[in-house]
Amino acid sequence: MRLRSLERALGLQLLDRSHGRAQLTPAGIAVVQWSEGVLEPMVELLLGTRALRSDGKTHLRVVASMTVAEYLVPGWLNRLRASDPTVIVSLQMGNSQHVIEVMLRGDAELGFVEGPHAPVELASRVVQSDDLVVVVAPSDRWARRRKPLTAPELSATPLVLREAGSGTREVLETSMLSLDLSVTPLVELGSTTAIKAAVASGAGAGVLSRLAVETDVQDGRLVVVATEGFSLARSIRIVWSKERPLSSSAKHLLRLIEDSTGPRHPERP
């Protein structure tokens, strides 16, 4: 009924209904293309008026992978709060796969993921580089080894790992797979904090973000094991919808992050 009303208002046939299945006519295709330039400013208008209705407060929904949420997002949000106290941020946490699912549902405006590849369903931009390191307890035999650890040795050793779907796990598995190797979980845990506690207790070796273990290494709770012959480098990305324009507060946060980490070019999946 709404489409017929629109057709009457425009004086155009937008849908061809003659074969029992509605299909866009050439005029309908043109109207869809032209409407994009009208709908995006309309979304901005609705976001702006919503902010006015909320007593001057702007709500920004963000979702981040566990490592990014724990070690990077707090600093970025502090900068946002200092520059614009009217923004109220709601932060969800989960693994990288969960972040992508939340973003595709439209339940957050900005997301942060880790991993070797950009999610093709979303627009993305690299905001920081990171790498994974093999860590053990000071009492572990690997803590005293003089030769770097090789990929076959790592592959043959049961490890304390993040769950499947996490960016950390994906980077490790991708690196091993490129060498026709795999990883063997000793135990799978759902957070970086839990893995650090397990490794520090002597449960076994773990693979974690260098950002996440920096303080623990300095304090002597964990030891980084040197490696050779394989790379565990990864990118940390900010992601957003390809379909919906970013609000002013989301753009502001993106600019603050770029100013603190250096500008990056958008990725083209």
60 and 130 in contact (C-beta within 8 Å)? no
Q: Helices (H), strands (E): how many in the chain? A: 10, 12
Whole-angstrom distance, CA of residue 233 vs CA of residue 128: 11
pLDDT of residue 164: 86
pTM over 0.95: no
pLDDT digits (tens, 9 = 90+) for 40-98: 667 666 656 655 555 556 789 999 998 899 889 999 999 998 998 888 898 999 888 89
Q: List CB contacts of 260: < 8 A, sequence separation 6 or more.
A: 75, 76, 79
pLDDT of residue 47: 56
Q: Which fold has domain 131-234?
A: D-Maltodextrin-Binding Protein; domain 2 (3.40.190)
Please name which of 110, 115, 108, 112 lies closest in space to residue 65, comparing C-alpha atoms.
112
Backbone phi and psi for residue 116, each to the nearest 5 degrees, phi listed first: -80, -15
Distances (CA, A) of 19 to 11, 14, 15, 22, 28: 22, 15, 11, 8, 16
Whole-angstrom distance, CA of residue 40 vs CA of residue 174: 38
Give the architecture (CATH level 2) of 53-128+235-267: 3-Layer(aba) Sandwich (3.40)
Domain ranges (residues) in the chain: 2-51, 53-128+235-267, 131-234
Whole-angstrom distance, CA of residue 83 vs CA of residue 219: 34
Whole-angstrom distance, CA of residue 115 vs CA of residue 14: 43
Backbone phi and psi for residue 97, each to the nearest 5 degrees, phi listed first: -65, -40
Helices (H), the chain: 2-10, 26-53, 66-71, 73-83, 96-105, 151-155, 167-177, 192-200, 210-218, 248-261
236 and 160 in contact (C-beta within 8 Å)? no
pLDDT higher than threshold 60 for residue 118: yes
pLDDT digits (tens, 9 = 90+) for 121-145: 999 999 888 899 999 999 999 999 9
pLDDT higher than threshold 60 for residue 267: no
